Chain A
Amino acid sequence: MQPTSEPGLPEALHRFPKTVYTEFQKGYDESSKRLAPDQVEAWAKAGVEIAEHSFRSWESATEYFRASPLVLPKLNFEQLMLWAQWGRSLAATSPIVSSAFFRATPEVLDRIPPETIGQWAGLGKGLYRSTWKSSSLAATFFESSPKLLQSVSLFEMEELVVFIDALAQKSYDLAAECLVLADSVFTKVDRADRKAFLGLASALARNNWRDVKPYFEHAPRAIYRVEKSQRPRYLALADRLARVSGVNVVTFLNESADALAEISPEDHAEMLGLAEQLAGAAPTAVGEFLRGLPTVLDRVRGEQLVQWFDEGLRLLKENEDGGMAFFRLESGRSEQLLEALSHGINLERVKEVLTMYCRALAGQDVELQATEILKERKIGWNSAEEATTEGSNIYLPVFIDRYNSKAENFSWFKVISTHQVAHLEFGSFAFSFDRPSAVYAGREQRHTRAPIVEGRHAISDLQRFFDSFTDRRLASDIFTLVEDGRIDHRVTVEYRGIAPAYRRVQGEAVAGRPAPNTLPLREAAMELLVRLSLEEVSPLAVPKAIALQLDAIKQVMRVMQSPLATIEDTAEATIRLYEVISRLPNVLQPDPEDQEQQGMEQESNEPDMEQLEKMLQDLMAQMSQGAGQPDGEQQKYESPQKIEFRGEFKPELVQALEQLRDKQKKGQGELDTKGVSPQDLKQMLEQSVELDLTDGQEGDLDQMAAAFVDNLMNQVSQEQQQRSGQGDHFPHVPDDDAPLSAKEPQAYLYDEWDFRATDYKPRWCRVRERRMEEGSTDFFENTLRTYSGLVSKIKKQFEMLAPESMRKIKHLPDGDEYDFDLVVESIIEKLAGDTPTDKVYWRRNKVERDVAVAFLLDMSASTAEAVDESRRQPDSGDFPDDPRDYMAWLRNRREEMSRRSYKRIIDIEKESTVLLITALEAIGDHYGIYGFSGYGRENVEFYVIKDLAERFGDSVKKRLDKITPMHATRMGPAIRHAVAKLDRQDARTKLLFLLSDGRPQDRGYSREGVEKEYAVHDTRKALIEARQKRITPFCLTVDRSGHDYLKTMCADMGYEVVTDIHSLPSRLPQLYRRLTV
């Protein structure tokens, strides 16, 4: 067929660019094959009509013709015409849209049925709003359709268009962007959730359209983390929140989904139920609630959770800020309630009690710490859950929730810490190779055993001991069991009170253990040893093949129950048990039925050592002959299942650490022949079975051992530093709301008062106490010289205070003694007939000074300002909130300061302190001088210049020298820490003297960074707390504008604003005198 046979049409096309005709021809060829001539004509005509429609619609026509060959196979004639019609009507709106429509059609038809093509086209058309931007959006719609339809049904697409349309009313660009994103987003959202997902998107488009894109990006991932059946509900909840102002849905989705992902999917329904309930009352709190859930659920569940929740709900109605803080878990009430409702126990809560308990039992300065800390040090302890000790401190898991009552959980804590303390108390780590054993005295075998590798230098006695065993793991397992058994027995005998709790835990430990007759023989023997060490007495089915061995094991263990038994006896017992057990083949008992019930009770009478040794020898002889031992396939020996309450026991490592500590103490010599060299240490680590080096990458054994050596060495030198009070850490900035911990020594946590919520934020600030560095005594001496006149004046004044207390008071009606002059006078009066006076006594005035005072010096950066007005630099007193900016700012400041030649506020503060010290020394009051500064709530630095109990001396003078402006002023925690110190003092009058140069301020020491009152209120609260402890606070400031906030801060407490800072040195002692007399 020739196109010329329809002369009118091609003719008309020649008016357009050539491509139109070319495409027509291609289409014509194809359509002539498929359609009747009249139909072809209609087809062609439709194309021409499109092309002629408007100025640029020939482009659409081109696309029409181009797409036709591809479309033809999929559509019947009517549909084809309909398609063309749609195209034409789209071309009427915009040729671009129409072109896009035609272009997309072939692919789209692969996805949707041909009869729905109109529907699809209609969707695109619907987006057109006769503007240029809308046309581009519609075009985008068509362009992205093929891809989109891969994941979306046409029906869903309708929904999407509704949303896009809504969004387009706000921003076309965004709408277009979302259209493009849509396909990748939809593949991530389950079919069932798409409606809700889009519904929420539309809601966002209406209310917070800017959130839409982040929503598109983040929501799918969030939704995916929620349990499947709960997703619609979750989205509905988010939808509900989206309609409320003040809730950022994207943040909500991200955070709440993260939180939900952390809790078990089974709980999602219940938690969302609560969240829905909360949404009705306070939509803004829902996010906080869900975010805190993982923490909350760790502690309370079910009934208790609802109780906690209801309380929060109640609080929300009363005080919104309070309720929010409650759900944010930043309120004391919330914390207390959780604590009361929860069965579990946090180490943090019982740390103090248990620390003292352990110290009492151990008789040494043990610290209690979380096991995580030890794990983080990477010195060989790998478990964060098991209790353990490294010879000086005790490490416990942070949270215990094994039982359904607090009492039982505490009892568990007590048992596991007692077990660890017992290692220290009963000398598990004191093994000495040469010290004689106690019960095996005279029968020691360890001296005669040959080491497996000759001539190796052993770091510790234990290493030397273990060096004589071929199967180190087996020896170590036996040693651990025997020693743990010895320790536990000693505890239950020595400490009768804890015995019941111990027995219970031991019983529970037995309950989950494998039956010996199901194990290969060697492991079965070990299992029996486990049970004996747990003092399990109920009869047990034992493989017949090891009945004899069991008897021997029993007797050896019986010996270890002697109250005399020491760690050296453990070693001897280990040798004997090893000889027996290692001779057992690790094969399964051929006939599982071949077993007998064996009683496990120990005989009550004292064992006869002679007999025991003989019996062991006989048994060994018998075993060496292989009598009665079953054959079978040797299995790899597996250590017995762990016994949880005993935690980890690593005596070899502990001894190595001890050696290092010794060495550190003796001197800093890097290498010495007698001590521990890194090589020795490394060798030991590689040998020891206590260190699971194989845990990591294979082959890197060498490297890992080296790393451990480094860590161990570091550990010891750090300990050393801590002991000498050095070691500086620069502030690190945690996430804003992350809970703090005070795991390191000399760190203390304090609550902070949130005046909006009228509640404390529990454990919100961390105070690090440290000694001030020592400088020279020059500052002190110079000050005394400069102010020599004032010094002697003050001294005199104060000395006069003291003798006042000893003055004699005469003319008293009763007292210590007669005043003889008065007595004589009285007698004379009497003889003369007068009424004699009866006031003939004297007594000493008994006013006694019993004062303890803590001075708190503000060491904030602003104290670096010049005292002299003319030199004062403009300084806002504010500093950058961002830690990085802050550091830069700080560096500048420090440089400036080093160039200074003028007197700063802090210098005056220091001078005043010097004068005060002389005064206080004259009068003999107890006093402490402290400085504080810090940056952020996790780094409140508290410098000790002179502790209350410390005596005044050169080192105090030297420390005074080093007082220098530091960072910010977070007064609350510093005050609380000083108050805690004063509270431990035993004095009649207690004073807290706060010397500052401005209002309290710090990073995050305000709500949303704006409310200065927050800091003031917290400080005020801290001062009130002081008063409740019968400590009189007094604030002295050199800030002239101090009146405004001091009025709030110290409303009914003493304060003074020193307007002329130069008067401070004389004013301070004066004030002090007035306060304490």
Chain B
Amino acid sequence: MTTAPGQTKSLYRHYIIEEYQLQKEPFYLPVHDEVQVFETAYKQKLPVLLKGPTGCGKTRFVEYMSYRLGQSLATVKPKGKGGAAAAAGNGKVGMPLVTIACHEDLTASDLVGRYLLEGQETKWIDGPLSRAVKTGAICYLDEIVEARKDTTVLIHPLTDHRRMLPVEKRGEILEAHDRFLLVISYNPGYQNALKDLKHSTRQRFISLEFDYSPREIESKVIEHESGVPADVAMNLAKLGEKVRHLKEHGLQEGVSTRLLIYAGKLIAGGIPPRRACQSAVVWALTDDAEVQRSIAEVVATIFA
């Protein structure tokens, strides 16, 4: 059904979802001991909850960990010929990572699987969660609070000692592969009564709190990711720090590392710094003219 990369010459690359692995080590600078905690949790088969504001590196962290765990464990032998060929290319790949972006229309079937009609018959198709459970991937449910509560309940049996996924429609129970790990993330920032994590869900995970990195680390990240010189990266990190002070004083969220990297990329691409920050930071953050002007003044103070 799906063609693995390299098999045919196509204009794009695509992977079977559970076979997607990182080929290269993602760049990640640990701030504290989060790497050790995560590794231990993985070994002890404890599901992990990542908390933190948008764009602070939660997803990157999961990618990095999937790669790292892939290195320390025996290399997974992916199913399918193409996948094997690709993996055999360098032998150094991460473990499979299944990322699911949660949204309010995400249904149980979207996760577990559904019947499709094929001719006169129905055919069962596994959903991404089922696949991850079967193959032993890290399943990363991003922005879990966006999913409806009835959907979230579905993952409960996977998160305790049972480690299993009931597939109601087929009358089956899937037992999780040994390597399987469930990771979810959410952003407590725009928390409100309706979009909060239920306690029955939340207390099934160990939590790692993320925040924007300190100026020094963030500037290294920006430097690495965007390719700007160190001093520019430092100024961007400084800008980040200053703008984050405005959280709750005009801004709902501080500026993300991601946006700062974008700004860096624009600068690296030849856009003058003030203009780059205007596009990537000032206008991106808010529509309020006064707040925009204030941030623009901060930008003008930092960048010549």
Contacts and interface: CB of A to CB of B under 8 A. Distances in A.
B245 A818 contact: no
Nearest to B250: A356
B242 interface: yes
Contacts of B243: 360
Given A496-B302, A497-B303, A823-B117, A816 B193 contact: no
Which of A353, A360, A418 gathers the greatest number of chain B CB atoms within 10 Å?
Answer: A360
Chain B interface residue number, banded = 20 to 34
B298 A357 contact: yes
A566 B78 CA distance: 58
B109 A359 contact: no
Contacts of B13: none
B170 to A, nearest CB: 13
A924 B241 CA distance: 35
Which of B117, B194, B297, B303 gathers the greatest number of chain A CB atoms within 10 Å?
Answer: B297
Interface stretch (B65-73, B125-133, B218-226, B287-295): B287-295
Contacts of B118: none
Interface stretch (A135-143, A361-369, A385-393, A970-978): A361-369
Contact of B245 (A363, A497, A844): A363
A359 B246 contact: yes
Given A353-B290, A360-B245, A362-B245, A494 B297 contact: no
B298 A360 contact: yes
B302 A818 contact: no
A951 interface: yes
Contacts of B299: 497
Interface in B84-126: 105, 107, 109, 114-115, 117, 120, 122
Nearest to B110: A816
B42 to A, nearest CB: 34
B300 interface: yes
B43 to A, nearest CB: 38
A827 interface: yes
Interface string A645-685: 00000000000000000000000000000000000000000
Given A361-B301, A414-B297, A497-B302, A356 B246 contact: yes
A692 interface: no
B238 interface: yes
Interface in A344-359: 352-357, 359
Contacts of A833: none
Given A360-B242, A361-B242, A362-B245, A497 B290 contact: no
Contact of B193 (A363, A498, A846, A951): A951
Contacts of B58: none
A422 to B, nearest CB: 11
Contacts of B302: 494-498
Contacts, number: 81
B249 interface: yes
Contacts of B109: 816-817
B235 interface: yes
B304 interface: yes
A924 B301 contact: no
Contact of B107 (A362, A816, A827): A816
A984 to B, nearest CB: 9
A499 interface: yes
A363 B242 CA distance: 7
A500 interface: yes
A491 B303 CA distance: 12
Given A356-B250, A360-B246, A817-B107, A499 B304 contact: yes
Chain A interface residue number, banded = 20 to 34
A356 B194 contact: no
A772 to B, nearest CB: 22
Nearest to A952: B193
Interface string B34-70: 0000000000000000000000000000000000000
B301 A418 contact: yes
Contacts of B300: 497-498
Contacts of B179: none
A418 B301 CA distance: 9
A260 to B, nearest CB: 38
B158 to A, nearest CB: 22
Given A356-B246, A357-B294, A359-B249, A497 B301 contact: yes
Contact of B120 (A500, A820, A827, A844): A827
B163 interface: no
A498 B105 CA distance: 48
Contacts of A816: 105, 107, 109
B297 A353 contact: yes
Contacts of B249: 356, 359, 365
B274 interface: yes
A436 to B, nearest CB: 22
Nearest to B120: A827
A846 B107 CA distance: 13
B102 to A, nearest CB: 16
Contacts of B120: 827
A459 to B, nearest CB: 30
B107 A818 contact: no
Contact of B291 (A356, A363, A817): A356
Interface string B224-238: 000000000001001
A500 B192 CA distance: 45
Which of A352, A495, A497 gathers the greatest number of chain B CB atoms within 10 Å?
Answer: A497
A360 B295 contact: yes
Contacts of A498: 300-302
A924 B246 CA distance: 29
Contacts of B246: 356, 359-360
Nearest to B289: A353
Contacts of B192: 926
B290 A414 contact: no
Contacts of B297: 353-354, 357, 414
A188 B245 CA distance: 63
Contact of A353 (B193, B235, B241, B293): B293
A584 to B, nearest CB: 39
Given A360-B246, A494-B238, A924-B194, A500 B304 contact: yes
A356 B107 contact: no
Nearest to A817: B109
A497 B304 contact: yes
B272 to A, nearest CB: 12
Interface in B227-274: 235, 238, 241-243, 245-246, 249-250, 274
Which of A357, A359, A364, A951 gathers the greatest number of chain B CB atoms within 10 Å?
Answer: A357
Contacts of A361: 242, 245, 298, 301
Given A360-B245, A818-B115, A414 B301 contact: yes
Contacts of A354: 294, 297
A360 B120 CA distance: 65
Interface in A508-553: none
A494 B298 CA distance: 12
Interface string A766-792: 000000000000000000000000000
A748 to B, nearest CB: 14
B117 A496 contact: no
Interface of B: 105, 107, 109, 114-115, 117, 120, 122, 192-194, 235, 238, 241-243, 245-246, 249-250, 274, 290-291, 293-295, 297-304
Interface of A: 352-357, 359-365, 414, 418, 494-500, 816-818, 820, 823, 827, 844, 846, 924, 926, 951
Given A356-B246, A357-B301, A359-B249, 7 more contacts: A353-B293, A355-B294, A357-B294, A363-B241, A496-B302, A817-B109, A924-B194
- Please give me the 4 A-B residue pairs with the lowest Cβ-Cβ distance, nearest first: A356-B294, A498-B301, A360-B242, A363-B245
28 contacts: A352-B290, A354-B294, A354-B297, A356-B290, A360-B243, A360-B245, A360-B295, A360-B298, A361-B242, A362-B245, A363-B241, A363-B242, A414-B297, A494-B238, A496-B302, A497-B301, A497-B302, A497-B304, A500-B304, A816-B107, A817-B109, A817-B114, A818-B117, A844-B105, A846-B105, A924-B193, A926-B192, A951-B193
